[in-house]
């Protein structure tokens, strides 16, 4: 299996209880990406996303734009690794 671009993205701010995970699911359908989104106990939302670098970048930016009023900080950790995801789900 060939390596793909992967990013772990952490969003903080007022990101839980505002439809963030559903928005991520909707935005992911617009791009060729796979992965998941979940709430964390510390109040952040984590997104694990993979695909072509351009698609991942566009997805993360589009999600940020969709939820801009709720996000205070975005932390991104890119890497190349074997593909692990199929589809995009709320975890």
Rounded Cα distance between 66 and 77, Å, is: 21
The Cα–Cα gap between 8 and 18 comes to: 21
39 given a catalytic annotation: yes
In the set 39, 44, 72, 76, the catalytic residue is: 39
Cβ–Cβ under 8 Å, residues 6 and 48: yes
Q: What share of the chain is helix, strand, coil (3-state, %, to 5)?
A: 25, 45, 30
Active site includes 21?
Answer: yes
Catalytic residues: 21, 39
């Amino acid at each position: 299996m060939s390596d793909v671009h992967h990013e772990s993205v952490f969003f903080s701010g007022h990101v839980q209880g505002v439809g963030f995970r559903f928005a991520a699911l909707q935005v992911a359908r617009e791009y060729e990406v796979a992965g998941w989104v979940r709430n964390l106990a510390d109040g952040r939302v984590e997104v694990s996303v993979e695909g072509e670098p351009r698609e991942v970048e566009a997805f993360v930016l589009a999600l940020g734009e969709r939820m801009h009023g709720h996000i205070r900080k975005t932390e991104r950790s890119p890497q190349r690794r074997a593909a692990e995801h199929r589809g995009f789900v709320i975890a």
